[in-house]
Structure 1
Amino acid sequence: MIKQIILAFLGSIFPVILFNIDRKKIIWTGFCGTLGWVVYLTVHKYTLNPVSASFAGAFSVGIYSELMARKLKTPAVQFSIPGIFPLVPGITAYTTINNIVEQNYSLAYSEGMQTVAVGGAIAFGIMLSSTTFRFISKLMKRNKLKI
């Protein structure tokens, strides 16, 4: 498990270099991906459902991204995009294509649907966390509270 967490950290750092994000934020994006992966592993351990685990991981990445964006005065996308890299269902997409090539269509359909469901869960988790955070910020602003 420690190895997975370290790899999630590194998997979130390398997109920072690829997307030319400010190098001062490199550690914070690594923590973002690590947080998302730890939440994913925890939820997956109890539910055995990669879709709900991906949603929970993406939701935590989104909340972390919004908080760090406020703290470091930068767009939240600079944290959320590298942060979701460890959650992306790359191996299931690969096995889907591999099963299509091997003409094993029933297994390809099953893997493909899981890939689409996980991708949708990631997108929905990021969207819901961003919307929730903005809604709470708006309420706090209306009541003159500060985050």
Structure 2
Amino acid sequence: MIKQIVLAFLGSVFPVILFNIDRKKIVWAGLCGVIGWTTYLGVYSFNKSSVAAAFIGAFMVGIYSEFMAIRLKTPAIEFSIPGIFPLVPGITAYNTINCIVEGQYSLAYSKGMQTIIVAGAIAFGIMLSCTTYKFVKRKIRL
């Protein structure tokens, strides 16, 4: 588990370097990936659903990103994009293409649908967290 957390941190730090985000935010973006991946692991071990785990992990990444954006006075996207990298279903997408090349079209369809659903869950989790955070913030001000 420690190995996965370290890899999630590195998986979030390298996009920060790639996208030329301010180096002062490198640790915070790495922590965002750790929060998302740890949440994913916790939810997945509880219900064995990669879709639900990806959704809740992305939701936590979005909440953390919005919080850090206000705290560090920077756009939330500087944390959310690197933070979701560990959640992206890359191996499933690879397996989809591999099945297509090998002619296993029904398995490729299954893997492809799983990839699309998990990717949609990640996008929906980020969108819902940003909307929820802004809604709660507006209600607290009133």
For the criterion TM > 0.5, the same-fold answer is yes
RMSD: 0.4
Q: Distance in 1 between matches of 2:114 and 2:123?
A: 14
Q: 1:95-127: per-residue Cα shift (whole Å, max 9, x none)?
A: 000000100011101100100000000000000
Q: Secondary structure at the match of 1:62?
A: helix
Moved over 6 A (4+): none
Residue 108 of structure 2 corresponds to residue 141 of structure 1 = no
> TM-score under structure 1 normalisation?
0.96
Q: Secondary structure at the match of 1:82?
A: helix
Q: Distance in 2 between matches of 1:63 and 1:39?
A: 12
Q: 1:70-90: per-residue Cα shift (whole Å, max 9, x none)?
A: 100000000000000000000
Q: 1:35-58: per-residue Cα shift (whole Å, max 9, x none)?
A: 000000000001101000000100
**Who is 1:131 aligned against?**
131
Residue 87 of structure 2 corresponds to residue 79 of structure 1 = no
Unpaired runs of 5+ residues, structure 1, are 143-147
Give the count of matched residue pairs: 142
**Who is 2:54 aligned against?**
54
**Who is 1:9 aligned against?**
9
**Who is 1:145 aligned against?**
none
In the alignment, residue 122 of structure 1 is paired with which amino acid? I
**Who is 1:96 aligned against?**
96
Q: Secondary structure at the match of 1:14?
A: helix
Q: Distance in 2 between matches of 1:141 and 1:119?
A: 34
Identity of aligned residues (%): 69
